[in-house]
Amino acid sequence: MNLDIETGLLSRARHVPSPNQDERPAGCVPELLVIHSISLPPGEFGGPWIERLFTNELEPSAHSYFADIAGLKVSAHLLIRRDGELVQFVPFHRRAWHAGESCYEERERCNDFSIGIEMEGTEEGDFTHRQYAALVEVVATLDENYPGISPERIAGHSDIAPGRKRDPGPGFDWIDLRRQIQTQRGV
């Protein structure tokens, strides 16, 4: 997988531009990966709903759950679907609106210095082998291209917004992810 550092886009990703992005503050570069989980409607996978949420095209009447979230202006840099497909909404050098009120190592406003990766799944469920394989490949690519990113600087949304967020949830296998990253790195 290649990353065009000028455009901030992954070669293997399908690109679906989100309007919910802006410039990072001066001097801010990606230094943290934040892992999220999402399914729309909750507990359902596939379909166009996540993309429509991140592109402000979610129809409130399409599902009862959507009435409360259709007006949100949110995005992530990348979505990893259940089959391992990568969908990129925001170039990595730009700020996606994924973390909200957040803090990492006493540094607030994580959107300013992080890359948000959504895993299609639920807080209560497991994730697929294809998703982990894709995530490991993405981590390796980002590690090669952004000096501040490393496997040690990966956090869950719950880690940067404790008490407010629970994702990616207990079904996310942090131990296996770190093992796969080490194996991929030859460590």
pLDDT in tens, 123-170: 999 999 999 999 999 999 999 999 999 999 999 999 999 999 999 999
Q: Which of 93, 97, 90 is nearest to 73 (CA)?
A: 97
Decide if pLDDT at 87 tops 80.
yes
CA separation for the pair 64, 61 (Å, rounded): 7
The structural domain count of the chain equals 1
Report residue 10 CA to chain centroid gap: 14
Confidence of residue 89 (pLDDT cuts 50, 70, 90): very high
The confidence band for 57, taking pLDDT boundaries of 50, 70 and 90, is very high
Is 59 domain-assigned? no
Predicted local distance difference test score (pLDDT) of residue 187: 67
DSSP string of 95-157, one letter each residue: EES-S-S-EETTEE-GGGTEEEEEEES-SSS---HHHHHHHHHHHHHHHHH-TT--TTSEEEH
How distant is the alpha carbon of residue 186 from its chain centre? 25
Is 132 among the domain residues? yes
Q: Does residue 66 belong to any structural domain of this protein?
A: no
In a domain, 48, yes or no: no
Q: How many CB atoms lie within 10 A of CB 137?
A: 18
Q: Note down the domain range covering 153.
A: 9-40+75-185
In a domain, 3, yes or no: no
Residue 92 lies in a domain: yes
C-beta of residue 128 within 8 angstroms of C-beta of residue 173: no
- Spot the catalytic one: 23, 85, 118, 124: 118
CATH number of 160's domain? 3.40.80.10
Let me know how many helices (H) and strands (E) the chain has, helices first.
Answer: 5, 12
The DSSP line for 45-60 is: -SSSHHHHHHTT---G
| Three-class SS state of 173 | coil
Asked if the structure places residue 67 within a domain, the reply is no
As given in the structure block, the two tokens for residue 140 are: 């390796």
- Answer whether residue 79 is part of any domain: yes
- Average pLDDT on 12-30 reads 98
Judge whether 59 counts as a catalytic residue.
no
Amino acid occupying residue 160? I
With cut-offs at 50, 70 and 90, classify the pLDDT of residue 185: confident
